[in-house]
Structures are given as C-alpha cells and as structure tokens.
C-alpha cells in the first residue's frame, strides 16, 4: 500500500496471484479507479488497461477470467470511502488521456472515450486526486504519466543528447535512469537484415509499428513519438536493423561515445 499522509487517496498494488487475498480485504469493497499492468506479446513492450468501477471485487474477478495479459493491478481508492461514480468516470477518462500522452505503455482500452460531464468543484477534486495517484503509482514503480525524456520539461540546450548517424540512419536520443530514449523524428533503416529477423529487436520494431510509435515512410523507419528502450544497444539495434553496440554507436555532438562519457567516468572514479 502507498499513501501520502495528508491526502485521502491510497494506492494498493495487487499481484494477480494474490487477487483472492485482496478480494477478502475491506478495501476491495469501494468505488475505485484501477490499472492492470502486463507485457506485450514481444516481451519488451508494456501494456496497461485503465478502468473504473463501483464494484471492484466483481470487476477484478471478471478481468481475471477474461484478460490474459496482466500480472499486477494497482487500485486507487479513498481512505475515507468518499469517491463517487462521478469521480471515477472522470478519473478514468483523464488517466487514459494522460497515459497516452506519456506513451510509456500500450493502452489496452478500446478507445479514448469522451470527457464526462462533471461539475467544476468535482472536476477540481479529480485533478487533485489524479496528482496524488500519479505520485503513488510512480513510487510503486509504475511511472504511467511521466514523460519519457527530460526534454519534455527542459530546454534541449540543457539536455545531453546522443546521435547515431550511419547511411540511412539519423537518430537522436537521451540516456536516462530508465534506459535509452530515442526521440521523436529519428530515422532508422527501413528493413531488418535477413539474418536478424528473428531477433528480439526485430520483433520489437514490429510491435512498435503496430502501436503506431514508428512507421515506414519512403523506405525508412520514422519515430512518430519518443520511445524508451531498456539499453543503449537495444535502441541502436532497433535503429540500424542489426546487432549493434549502443555504447559505441551513440555519440555526442563532439563525437565522444556514450561508453567514454558514462562508463569511462565510472571506471576513472573507481581507480582514483
């Protein structure tokens, strides 16, 4: 469980294997907004389903029978049992919109829905609840609403960018605490080498195309939004369409490799 002592919102993380234990808890008998998390078929992308309900026990049991992808749920409830169905409907809509803007997860919701009519005072409550829920989800390890790259909130002048330039490749990325982010507008090779079509990065490219995050245009792969990869090498391989050492492929404007800037500094510090 996660909560901020001065707020009424509480987040409860529920492993699917312990769903029956949660259903036996009094907290499961409330109006709630909930998030189901799991992996995509490629094993690399992450899936998310956002829902709301006035009968949490019944809804989670139904999802346990009918939805295969999820492994963990996070439930947002009120510690004072004061969430109404109107709150939940607006929060569900808002969470779906903001999750898609952040682009970290492939949302399993069929459509974006339409903004429900909500009285202004209630809508203000919902935005405060959303802000608390956003913090609690990130604290539990689910940064659903956080932007992938720091340039979302900072000037590009203050962001350390790295470049991968080859024939047919012109990509820009950022090395972050979570991995390597290839930025929107980057261009990679349009095809994967025949010897590499069964590799994980080839499958990930296909998944990204299905999700609309990248697209083939005029024979090249164009990133339509920022995409997070687990490693610099995974990002480079997806860009060049073959196995690649991202630590050496990604370089800053002065031509210094990511390896020299990041791993070299660690080695030097250790030796000292």
DSSP letter assigned to residue 117: P
What does the domain layout of the chain look like in residue ranges? 2-139, 150-271
Look at residues 198, 196, 220, 194 and name the one whose alpha carbon lies nearest to residue 209: 220
Tens digit of each residue's pLDDT, the chain (272 residues): 999 988 999 999 999 999 999 999 999 999 999 999 998 766 667 899 999 999 999 999 999 999 999 999 999 999 999 999 999 999 999 999 999 888 888 888 877 667 899 999 999 999 999 999 999 999 999 999 988 765 444 444 556 899 999 888 999 999 988 889 999 999 999 988 777 778 888 888 888 898 889 999 999 999 999 999 989 999 999 999 988 999 999 999 999 999 998 876 554 444 44
Look at residues 143, 175, 178, 182 and name the one whose alpha carbon lies nearest to residue 159: 175
State whether residue 99 is helix, strand or coil.
helix
Residue whose token pair is 């604290």? 139
For residue 39, the model assigns a pLDDT of 84
Look at residues 33, 262, 237 and name the one whose alpha carbon lies nearest to residue 144: 33
DSSP letter assigned to residue 242: S
pTM of the model: 0.68
């Amino acid at each position: 469980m996660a909560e901020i002592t001065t707020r009424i919102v509480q987040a409860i993380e529920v492993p699917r294997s312990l769903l029956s234990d949660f259903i036996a808890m009094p907290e499961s008998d409330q109006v709630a907004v909930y998030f189901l998390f799991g992996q995509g078929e490629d094993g690399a992308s992450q899936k998310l389903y956002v829902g709301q309900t006035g009968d949490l026990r019944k809804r989670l049991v139904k999802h346990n029978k009918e939805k295969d992808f999820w492994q963990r749920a996070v439930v947002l409830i009120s510690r004072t049992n004061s969430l109404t169905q109107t709150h939940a409907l607006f929060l569900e809509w808002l969470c779906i919109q903001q999750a898609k803007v952040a682009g970290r997860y492939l949302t399993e919701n069929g459509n974006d829905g339409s903004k429900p009519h909500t009285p202004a005072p209630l809508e203000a409550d919902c935005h405060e609840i959303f802000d608390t829920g956003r913090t609690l989800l990130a604290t539990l390890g689910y940064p659903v609403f956080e932007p992938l790259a720091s340039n979302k909130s900072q000037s590009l002048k203050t962001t350390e960018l790295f470049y991968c330039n080859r024939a047919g490749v012109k990509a820009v990325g950022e090395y972050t605490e979570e991995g390597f982010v290839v930025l929107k507008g980057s261009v990679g090779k349009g095809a994967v080498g025949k010897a590499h079509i069964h590799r994980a990065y080839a499958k990930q490219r296909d998944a990204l195309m299905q999700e609309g995050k990248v697209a083939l245009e005029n024979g090249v792969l164009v990133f339509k939004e920022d995409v997070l990869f687990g490693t610099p090498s995974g990002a480079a391989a997806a860009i060049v369409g073959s196995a690649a050492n991202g630590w050496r492929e990604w370089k800053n404007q002065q031509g210094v490799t990511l390896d020299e800037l990041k791993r070299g500094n660690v080695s030097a510090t250790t030796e000292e």
